[in-house]
Amino acid sequence: MLMLHRCGISSECIKKIRKKTERLETSMAKRDYIVGEYHPKTLLVGVYTPNNQIGNQDYYNEEFLSLVHTLGMAYDLTYFMKLRAPDNNMFLTKGKLEELTKYCTEHEIEVVYFSEILNPLQERNLEAAIGCHVADRSRLILEIFKKSAHSSEGRIQVEMAEINHYKTRIIGRGVEMSQQAGILGNKGPGETAKEELRRHIEEKMRQARKRLETLERSRTIQRKQRLESKIPLICIIGYTNSGKSSLLNRIAKGDVLAEDKLFATLDTTTRELFIDSKKKALISDTVGFISQLPHNLIAAFKSTLDELRYATLLLQVIDLSNPAWKSQIGVVRTTLEELGVSQPMLYVFNKIDKLTPEQLEALKPELEQYQPHVLINTCSRQGTEPLIAYLSAYQL
C-alpha cells in the first residue's frame, strides 16, 4: 500500500529520493579517496592550453607531477596532451575527448585528475563522457593546502575555500537533487534536497566566516600596534619552492620548514630582523604562488595576503635555476595585481649556486630588466650578503 507523506508525496517516492541523495553523497565521499585507504586506478592528465602562463609545456607537466607528489597521492598512469582551445562545456575538443575516453576504457581507469582548472559544468560533462570520476587542479591544490595549514587562520581559510569548491559542484548537480520532497522528515512542502544542502553549506560558511572575523580583528590590532611602533615590515613573497622560507631561516634565524615541496609554507611566520647595528625590521614569510592558483583559494587567503599591502618592502624570491623563472615572475605579478598589492619590491634571484659562472654571465643582460635586484643563494651566509647590504642601504 502506498503511504502518502504529509506534503502529498508517496513514501515510495521519498525512499527513491533518499537513495539518490545517498548515492550522491557516496560519490562525493569517494572523491576523498586520496586521503583514505581505497586506491582506485588513477590517471593523471596534463593538459597544456594556450592560456597557460607557464610558457614551457614540459615544465608545466613536471610541476603538475610535483603537485601530485607533494600530496603523496598514488597514481597509475600519466597522459599528456596539448589543447588548441578549451571547450566551454566539455573542456576537451571532440577528438581529444574520444582519444581520452578510449584510453580510459582500455586501461580501466576509475579516476582522472586534470592539471587544469575545470568549471563544475566541464567536470560533470567530462565525468559523464569518460565514465570516471574527474577532479581538477583546484581540488589537488586544495588537498595540499589542507595538509599544510596548521594555524587556526590557515585552516579556516582552507575550509572556506573547500566549502566554496563543493558548493558549486554539489549544487550544480541539479538533476539528481531537484525533486520536491520533505526528505528530511520535518521540512515543509516545496523543500528540495538541493535547498536543504545549500542551507547546510551556507550555515557552515557563515560559521567559518565568523571564526575568521574574530581572528582578523586580532590581526588588525596587531597591525595597528606595529604601524604605531614604526617598525618596518618586509614581506617575502614569490613562486612556490623558490626558497622563501630558506631565506627567512638564513637571515632571521627562523625555524620555518623549508622543503623541496610545493606549498611547504601556508602559515605566515614573522621574525625580527637585525639588519645592522642600527636597523631593525620585521620579516614575514608567506604562502607561495603558483600558476592557475584557484580563485577561491586566492579569495580565501585574502586576509593573510592582505598583510602584503601594509609591507614597507617586498622581497620577491625567484628560483633562477628553474627554466620557467620568467613565467613565474609573471604569475607573481598577476597574482599581486589581483590582490591589489603594489608595494616597492626587490627581486631576489636565488639558487645561483645551481648555475655555472658561464650560465650566470649569459643571464645577466636579461636580469638587468628586473630592477632593483640582487643575486643570492641561501645555502651559505655569504650567499645572502648582497641582500643584507641592500637592506642596510635602503631607506626603510
Ligand X SMILES: Nc1nc2c(ncn2[C@@H]2O[C@H](COP(=O)(O)OP(=O)(O)OP(=O)(O)O)[C@@H](O)[C@H]2O)c(=O)[nH]1
Which residues of this protein are in contact with ligand X, per CB under 6 A?
238, 240-246, 258-265, 288, 350-351, 353-354, 377-379
Count the alpha carbons within 13 Å of 391 in the hemisphere toward its beta carbon. Answer: 26
Of 90, 94, 91, 106, nearest to 43 (Cα)?
106
Instruction: Give the nearest distance from C-beta 38 to Mg ion in angstroms.
Output: 31
Q: Residue 385 is inside which H or E element, if any?
A: helix 385-393
67 vs 193, beta carbon nearer ligand X: 67
The one segment of 1-9, 212-220, 263-271, 353-361 that binds Mg ion by CB under 5 A: 263-271
Residue 112 binding: pick among Mg ion, ligand X, none (C-beta 5-8 Å cut-off by kind): none
Give the residue closest to ligand X by C-beta.
Answer: 288
Instruction: Give the nearest distance from C-beta 246 to Mg ion in angstroms.
Output: 8
With a CB cutoff of 8 Å and minimum separation 6, the contacts of 147 are 71
Would you call 300 helix, strand, or coil by DSSP? helix
260 vs 368, beta carbon nearer ligand X: 260
182 vs 288, beta carbon nearer ligand X: 288
Would you call 23 helix, strand, or coil by DSSP? helix
21 vs 269, beta carbon nearer ligand X: 269
Would you call 207 helix, strand, or coil by DSSP? helix
C-alpha 393/C-alpha 388 separation (Å) is: 9
Of 48, 126, 26, 112, nearest to 77 (Cα)?
112
Beta-bridged to residue 134, according to DSSP, are 112
**C-alpha cell of 264?**
611547504
* Binding characters for Mg ion, 291-320, by CB under 5 A (x = yes): ------------------------------
- Residue 176 near residue 20, CB atoms below 8 Å: yes
Instruction: Please give the order of strands across the beta sheet that includes 269-274.
Output: 269-274, 280-285, 233-238, 313-319, 345-350, 373-375
Instruction: Give the nearest distance from C-beta 151 to Mg ion in angstroms.
Output: 14
* Binding characters for Mg ion, 264-293, by CB under 5 A (x = yes): xx----------------------------
Residue 263 binding: pick among Mg ion, ligand X, none (C-beta 5-8 Å cut-off by kind): ligand X
156 vs 248, beta carbon nearer ligand X: 248
135 binds Mg ion (CB under 5 A): no
**C-alpha cell of 28?**
562525493
Instruction: Give the nearest distance from C-beta 285 to Mg ion in angstroms.
Output: 6
Residue 378 binding: pick among ligand X, Mg ion, none (C-beta 5-8 Å cut-off by kind): ligand X
Binding site for Mg ion (CB under 5 A): 244-245, 264-265
